[in-house]
Chain A
């Protein structure tokens, strides 16, 4: 009998343990349930970071394991956020509108309430009607289903179109980037039905939980994010291990050979692409209630590229690397750009990190790509004493795959 998954891959256990300890520690230090050493906004930032880590782990599945550098992952993330945001917005506005209409002498009809809610929500884009895509917005179950379905369907259609015509490599990357750009531009229109560039706001107020208070709600969301990250990690680790995962990695390394061996490459790619999109959508649905606002700028191509940056810095091809990268880079980023980092005085010039952080990030990204392709997770190998065989030295010929000096001599 095979050993259980977690024993075959002890890194899973370590990851889950660290996650649990982290969540527990934050809870103990939070304002809602503990000493209050960590402010509520910090708890939210940490919760959001966990969601980003989940998106990064899903990105790693797609990129690190199947070799599809998808530069449109944040489109799925934001779509998940939009789907849950629709319910949050309608439910909350309904509460407010019902409250104000109840003071009228004649009780309002349902049509009147829904009309007032629509006016309230869509007044900013000059409309007083619910667009058709809001049909399910009244029901939490419906919108939760859409959180999974909409990113999944988009990935299915897009992936099917792209994979069946054998678009791959950088072409696929550019195409995914175009997809998220098209979606962002579409959502920026006022008549897209999702409030144009105003986006959806006030999402941090959860209808029915007004009495809980933000300091406790933020911890709840932290728990939910941690749970989602843990489960998502387990699931992706399960998919990536075993036969399925082996085929996926083989596709990454030599797609044509796998195809000649008789595997349906497109099928494998599509399953993984859709799964990653769904997980990313769920991460987004947890992220935006903590962020409080979502607008089309979240879908800008740059956001997805950042996701790839995190995965690369963390170390792609291993799931914990992606999570570490996302947590590390996004926290360091917010530290530097939040103005909390002390200025660096060089004597002739004072480096303000708010201005220079991007430059540093860009350059460190180049350096990581050049010199540490394994990223931060490569340190784990170093600790374990794993060294890749040194194939270094100059290539003997200019062709692709030419033997390198040491390979030839050893």
Chain B
């Protein structure tokens, strides 16, 4: 009797949907003890048995998982508690109210229950529950689920139906016993680049490396490796030693240990200890010990070669069927091209976003350094001031969106004022001494940095982006870009437009260009070079402040925020060509794409990427000392 039930339970485990529905009451009676005191290890068959009994079994499992299953105190009848209502767990009949002791299965047991419920839930009338069940299924799919899924393929919701069909094919690839069905499923995906599809193919193509004297017929061999070419001789021989197929080679450590064991009266094999600091003497001592039979002869080079020749070193698929692995390999190769293209697209997006960050950091500099020729080492600190302005604004205005809207102009005002002050107090006096401007503004930079440290402390301050900037825009598994980066890209475009508008369409821009090209002539025309210089410098600094808010949204706001960008910003302007915004744009694009490109070639090491990028720039300057877009004519003389 017991055996029959176990067999039933096993059947239920293997083919739950195909199993005949046995009586729920009988199953409960059979497994009563386990139901009352379930354990995660042994509850599986019981749950499957209950699930196999039909909808009432599912209701029981649902209640059990929800901790709504109990025992009536009077007679120990298994009941489902739903608020005040009691129903018989076995039949679903309503019962009069009574005292109930609730069963409390632990989370492991509830996990088993919910998995079993997934099958039933796949055909649940509620689409939300069906979707949930599909999620559960795709997370933990095995052969048994395939049958469940196939039974529930029809779905009124076309979206869910497509998901089910896709999941069914994925499960077919992995678990169907029929190779033809698996190959059909693999080929059905075409050049799909989904992570799930690749994840399904990978276990099929998993290989293990073996050393065999003869290749058994029917072995699904991925590749035969020849020692010395595909696999190093040492590694190949180590495989043989590990498998016990060949004697170990003598390592220096082993030789040393063995020699130490045979010290006799200050000699080893007739060689004095003092001489054993040389390899030749050690070999002599070893040979002597060998001839006395005291040590095992070690494998010589010839023996190693012979052993390596005797064995075949193979990568063997775990999957026995060759047609399946061939199809999987072909499918994977097909996806690889598309994946490569998408990765290139993703990399370009990354590079574009990095370029827009550099552009944003450099655009203020393009005005102060590029147009005015003033080298402002405190530019980075203006970026930092902007970021801290954003942080302080957030302390007063809780609403993130509103605080951002307030912070952007506020940062502009703060850094504009700081820039004007710097220009009036320091830079004005140094227009004819550019190197000293560099040093004086550096003095300002270290003072500002330390000031920020004194006020805000050394730890990073959060500048949190509004919720609508969280998350990422994902095209598929590979291509995606976060909204903040898109926002920065847009901001960079806006600033480019703003710069072009101010410089080419406004009175200020006209005067700025006039003063840069020929201050004497501009002054004769009634333009005050002093005032224009002040405003231009303020404008450049103000833009740095706004860039600071943007950069602060994704980078840590610390007092070193600015100095992290300053060298790159100068590089951007210099590489691009001083005095030309399109040059700055080109410089930012070049540096951004270059850095990402180098990172892609050597992904483990972003430090190296920066090193090589700077080296590249140093060499680039050799060939185009005036940058990508060189200033021409009169403007070049001033720059």
A, B bound: yes
**A residues adjacent to B (C-beta < 8 A):** 67, 69, 104-112, 158, 161-162, 164-167, 169-171, 173-175, 177-179, 181-183, 185-186, 188-189, 191, 301-302, 305, 308-309, 312, 355-359, 361-366, 369-370, 373, 397-402
For B638, give the chain A residue with the smallest CB separation. Answer: A400
Chain B residues within an 8 Å CB radius of A398? 519-520, 522-523, 529
Q: How many residues of B contact A (CB 8 A)?
A: 60
For A177, give the chain B residue with the smallest CB separation. Answer: B567
- From B263, B448, B449, B618, name the one whose CB has the most chain A CB atoms within 10 angstroms: B618
A362: contacting residue among B444, B454, B623, CB under 8 A: B444
Chain A residues within an 8 Å CB radius of B522? 398
Q: List 15 A-B contacts (CB under 8 A).
A: A67-B435, A161-B618, A162-B622, A165-B625, A170-B435, A178-B567, A182-B618, A189-B607, A302-B446, A312-B436, A359-B450, A369-B436, A369-B439, A397-B523, A402-B520
Q: Mark B605-630 against chain A: 1 for CB-CB distance below 8 A, else 0.
A: 10110110011011101110100000
**Contacts A366-B440, A398-B520 given; does A186 touch B277 at CB 8 Å:** no
Chain B residues within an 8 Å CB radius of A105? 260, 263, 273
For B533, give the chain A residue with the smallest CB separation. Answer: A398
**Contacts A170-B434, A175-B621, A189-B607 given; does A397 touch B277 at CB 8 Å:** no
Q: What separation, in Å, do the CA atoms of A353 and B436 have in the docked complex?
A: 27
A141 to chain B, nearest CB (A): 25
Question: Do residues A171 and B523 form an inter-chain contact, with CB atoms below 8 A?
Answer: no
Question: Do residues A174 and B574 form an inter-chain contact, with CB atoms below 8 A?
Answer: yes
Question: Do residues A359 and B622 form an inter-chain contact, with CB atoms below 8 A?
Answer: no
Beyond the given pairs A366-B447, A370-B429, A401-B432, 19 more chain A to chain B contacts, judged by CB atoms under 8 angstroms and listed by A's residue number, are A107-B277, A109-B277, A162-B621, A165-B621, A165-B623, A166-B625, A167-B625, A170-B438, A182-B618, A189-B605, A189-B607, A355-B454, A358-B447, A358-B450, A365-B439, A366-B440, A369-B439, A398-B523, A400-B432
Q: What separation, in Å, do the CA atoms of A69 and B442 have in the docked complex?
A: 13
B430 to chain A, nearest CB (A): 7
Q: What separation, in Å, do the CA atoms of A361 and B451 have in the docked complex?
A: 12
Chain A residues within an 8 Å CB radius of B273? 105-107
Q: What separation, in Å, do the CA atoms of A26 and B619 have in the docked complex?
A: 47
For B625, give the chain A residue with the smallest CB separation. Answer: A165
B350 to chain A, nearest CB (A): 20
B267 to chain A, nearest CB (A): 12
Question: Do residues B608 and A189 form an inter-chain contact, with CB atoms below 8 A?
Answer: yes
Chain B residues within an 8 Å CB radius of A165? 621-623, 625
Question: Do residues B429 and A363 form an inter-chain contact, with CB atoms below 8 A?
Answer: no
Q: What separation, in Å, do the CA atoms of A401 and B433 have in the docked complex?
A: 11
Interface assignment of B35: CB less than 8 Å from any CB of chain A: no
**Contacts A358-B447, A366-B444 given; does A69 touch B614 at CB 8 Å:** no
B584 to chain A, nearest CB (A): 15
Interface assignment of B252: CB less than 8 Å from any CB of chain A: yes
B438: contacting residue among A69, A158, A182, A361, CB under 8 A: A69
A106: contacting residue among B256, B519, B608, CB under 8 A: B256
**B residues adjacent to A (C-beta < 8 A):** 252, 256, 259-260, 263, 268, 273-274, 276-279, 282, 375, 426, 429-430, 432, 434-436, 438-440, 442-451, 453-454, 519-520, 522-523, 529, 563, 567, 570-571, 574, 605, 607-608, 610-611, 614-615, 617-619, 621-623, 625
Chain B residues within an 8 Å CB radius of A312? 436, 439
For A167, give the chain B residue with the smallest CB separation. Answer: B625
**Contacts A161-B622, A167-B621, A178-B617 given; does A361 touch B519 at CB 8 Å:** no
B334 to chain A, nearest CB (A): 36
**Contacts A170-B435, A174-B570, A186-B608 given; does A109 touch B279 at CB 8 Å:** yes
Chain A residues within an 8 Å CB radius of B451? 359
- From B429, B453, B574, name the one whose CB has the most chain A CB atoms within 10 angstroms: B574
Question: Do residues B435 and A169 form an inter-chain contact, with CB atoms below 8 A?
Answer: yes
Question: Do residues B567 and A356 form an inter-chain contact, with CB atoms below 8 A?
Answer: no
Chain A residues within an 8 Å CB radius of B446? 302, 358, 361-362, 365
Chain B residues within an 8 Å CB radius of A361? 443, 446-447
Question: Do residues A173 and B436 form an inter-chain contact, with CB atoms below 8 A?
Answer: no
Question: Do residues B621 and A399 form an inter-chain contact, with CB atoms below 8 A?
Answer: no
Q: What separation, in Å, do the CA atoms of A120 and B621 have in the docked complex?
A: 42
A373: contacting residue among B436, B450, B453, B607, CB under 8 A: B436
**Contacts A358-B447, A370-B429 given; does A178 touch B618 at CB 8 Å:** yes
Chain B residues within an 8 Å CB radius of A308? 439
For B436, give the chain A residue with the smallest CB separation. Answer: A369
Question: Do residues A359 and B447 form an inter-chain contact, with CB atoms below 8 A?
Answer: yes
Q: What separation, in Å, do the CA atoms of A170 and B256 have in the docked complex?
A: 62
For A110, give the chain B residue with the smallest CB separation. Answer: B277
B607: contacting residue among A107, A167, A188, CB under 8 A: A188
Chain B residues within an 8 Å CB radius of A171? 574, 621, 625
Q: What separation, in Å, do the CA atoms of A266 and B407 have in the docked complex?
A: 50
Q: What separation, in Å, do the CA atoms of A19 and B611 have in the docked complex?
A: 40
Q: What separation, in Å, do the CA atoms of A105 and B574 have in the docked complex?
A: 65
B434: contacting residue among A107, A111, A169, CB under 8 A: A169
Chain B residues within an 8 Å CB radius of A301? 567
For B443, give the chain A residue with the smallest CB separation. Answer: A365
B598 to chain A, nearest CB (A): 12
Chain A residues within an 8 Å CB radius of B520? 397-399, 402
Question: Do residues B567 and A173 form an inter-chain contact, with CB atoms below 8 A?
Answer: no
Q: What separation, in Å, do the CA atoms of A358 and B454 have in the docked complex?
A: 10
Q: What separation, in Å, do the CA atoms of A170 and B607 have in the docked complex?
A: 26
For A305, give the chain B residue with the smallest CB separation. Answer: B442
Q: What separation, in Å, do the CA atoms of A309 and B438 have in the docked complex?
A: 11
For B253, give the chain A residue with the smallest CB separation. Answer: A112
A359: contacting residue among B260, B282, B454, B607, CB under 8 A: B454
Q: What separation, in Å, do the CA atoms of A362 and B260 have in the docked complex?
A: 66
Question: Do residues B611 and A185 form an inter-chain contact, with CB atoms below 8 A?
Answer: yes
B450: contacting residue among A167, A175, A362, CB under 8 A: A362
Q: What separation, in Å, do the CA atoms of A287 and B432 have in the docked complex?
A: 37
Q: What separation, in Å, do the CA atoms of A167 and B621 have in the docked complex?
A: 8
Q: What separation, in Å, do the CA atoms of A109 and B259 have in the docked complex?
A: 14
Chain B residues within an 8 Å CB radius of A111? 252, 279
